Amino acid sequence: MLAIVAPGQGAQTPGFLAPWLELDGFSQRFAELADVAGTDLAAHGTTSDAETIRDTAVAQPLLVAAAIATAAELLGEPGVDERVGIVGGHSVGELAAAAIAGVLTAADAMNLVRERGRAMAEASALRPTSMTAVIGGDRDEVLSAIEAAGLTPANNNGSGQIVAAGTVEELEAFAEAAPRRSRLFPLSVAGAFHTVHMEPAVDRMRTTASAISPANAQLALLSNRDGQVVTDGDDYLERLISQVANPVRWDLCMDTMREHGVTGLLELTPAGTLTGIAKRNLKGVELFNLNSPDQLDDARAFVAQHAAAGA
């Protein structure tokens, strides 16, 4: 069985879209998505520096547009390729996954991510907050230490990786009393995403979503809330809205992939983050990082191979 996944914020790197924009079909599709986002995503994906694309209001639409356009090159139009067994996205990647699965149109996904990025950037500006990846340590001890520091386990990414989020002061205190046998890596993000600090963004998301009529998923679509497959479009849209201020349970998403018998996992560009997590958590699952158009033939063969395995 084949899983297609879309990465979240932090996966972007300067210039990662340059080779893709040399494809006429990709370039045209990407320009249409950028028009909806109201920003020059082509420039951000090719010439903008790391600090510019770190901006939440830039990074989020850039990543969603890249995943949607890459999936279209690989699979054809969203929601019609039954070779895909499961589709999912990490954090903002959920919007791309929803478009690939047919719950949202590409335009609706870009409208939502435009407002999501802006709203989360504004929420981040209200108070200095951030996120720190905790690698290693005993899981229970790590979670207890995060809670004791007043932080939120904002991303639970499975074996050996939990991301703590909260105020800068809370994170500094946490670092001074780090859990045993753990290593801390402050993340280059603008705020404490998927925590109560993002509550101001939820209402803005809900207002934008009120004009959207989602369809039911045409592919098995994973939810970051609890790792479950969600087919009802209204339910998934509500989950997308509330997820802004709630933790990402990617560990549970991977559990569901395992339970469904996933044999191959392909990560859309900019790939590497989710396959890296999968390498530690989904033993025996073949992985593919799709990062440039010269990989498309191999990627299509990978799709065919694992679609056949799940038939």
Check residue 77 and give its pLDDT. 64
Q: Which domain holds residue 171?
A: 129-186
Q: For the chain of 311 residues, list the mean pLDDT of each consecutive stretch of 10.
A: 95 96 95 95 96 93 97 77 91 97 96 95 93 93 94 92 95 93 88 94 92 94 97 97 96 97 97 95 97 97 87 59
- Its sign, for the CA torsion 21, 22, 26, 29, is positive
- Out of 169, 186, 203, pick the residue that ends a domain: 186
Is residue 135 domain-shared with residue 228, that is, in the same domain? no
Which of 44, 194, 197, 306 is catalytic? The answer is 194
Is residue 100 domain-shared with residue 219, that is, in the same domain? yes
The CATH number of the domain holding residue 294 is: 3.40.366.10
Check residue 261 and give its pLDDT. 96
Is residue 200 domain-shared with residue 176, that is, in the same domain? no
Which of 48, 91, 124, 130 is catalytic? The answer is 91
Is residue 171 domain-shared with residue 279, that is, in the same domain? no
Is residue 73 domain-shared with residue 29, that is, in the same domain? yes
Check residue 189 and give its pLDDT. 80
Is 27 an active-site residue?
no
Q: Hey, which residues does 155 pair with through a beta bridge? A: 163, 248
Is 91 an active-site residue?
yes
How far, rounded to the nearest angstrom, does the alpha carbon of residue 284 sit from its chain's CA centroid? 23
Cα–Cα distances in Å, from 8 out to 25, 68, 74, 180? 24, 13, 19, 28
Is residue 202 domain-shared with residue 146, that is, in the same domain? no
Is residue 176 domain-shared with residue 250, that is, in the same domain? no
Q: SS3 for the chain, per residue? A: CEEEEECCCCCCCCCCCCCHHHCHHHHHHHHHHHHHHCCCHHHHHHCCCHHHHHCHHHHHHHHHHHHHHHHHHHHCCCCCCCCCCEEEECCCHHHHHHHHCCCCCHHHHHHHHHHHHHHHHHHHCCCCEEEEEEEECCHHHHHHHHHHCCCEEEEECCCCEEEEEEEHHHHHHHHHCCCCCEEEEECCCCCCCCCHHHHHHHHHHHHHHCCCCCCCCCCEEECCCCCCECCCHHHHHHHHHHHCCCCEEHHHHHHHHHHCCCCEEEECCCCCHHHHHHHHHCCCCEEEECCCHHHHHHHHHHHHHHHHHCC
Check residue 79 and give its pLDDT. 47
- Out of 186, 209, 231, pick the residue that ends a domain: 186
Check residue 193 and give its pLDDT. 95
Is residue 89 domain-shared with residue 29, that is, in the same domain? yes
| Number of folded domains that form the chain | 2
